[in-house]
Amino acid sequence: MSARHQLQLKLAPWALLTVSAAWGLSFVVMKDAIQRQSVNNFLFTRFTLAVIVMILIRPQTIKLFNKDLLQRGGLAGIFLGLGYIAQTLGLERTGAAITGFITGLYVVLTPLIASFVLKEKITKFTWFCIAVATFGLGLLSIRGFSVGIGEMFVLASAVLFAAHIIALSKWSSGRDVYAMTVIQLTMCAILAGLASAVEGYSLPPDRGVWSVVIFTAVFATAVAFIVQTWSQAHMSATKVAVILTMEVVFAALFAILLGGERLTIQTAVGGILVVVAMYLIVLKEQK
Of the candidates 88, 244, 95, the residue with the CA atom closest to the CA atom of residue 156 = 88
Q: Is 7 within a domain?
A: no
| Enclosing domain of residue 223 | 15-286
Q: Give the Å distances, CA to CA, from 285 to 105, 215, 237.
A: 21, 31, 12
Specify whether the CB–CB gap between 219 and 22 falls below 8 A: yes
Q: Is 257 within a domain?
A: yes
Domains: count for the chain = 1
Q: Is 5 within a domain?
A: no
Specify whether the CB–CB gap between 97 and 264 falls below 8 A: no
pLDDT single digits (tens) 189-223: 999 999 898 888 999 999 999 999 999 999 999 99
Q: Is 8 within a domain?
A: no
Q: Is 141 within a domain?
A: yes
pLDDT single digits (tens) 8-64: 778 888 899 999 899 888 877 887 788 888 888 999 999 999 999 999 999 999 999
Q: Which residues, in sequence order, are CB contacts of 25 under 8 Å at separation 6+?
A: 220, 250, 251, 254
What are the counts of helices (DSSP H) followed by strands (DSSP E) for the chain?
13, 0
Specify whether the CB–CB gap between 274 and 246 falls below 8 A: yes
Q: Is 123 within a domain?
A: yes
Q: Provide the mean pLDDT of the chain.
A: 85
Q: Is 89 within a domain?
A: yes
Q: Is 32 within a domain?
A: yes
What is the C-alpha to C-alpha distance for residues 166 and 106, in angstroms, rounded to an integer? 11
Q: Give the Å distances, CA to CA, from 246 to 43, 49, 55.
A: 22, 26, 30
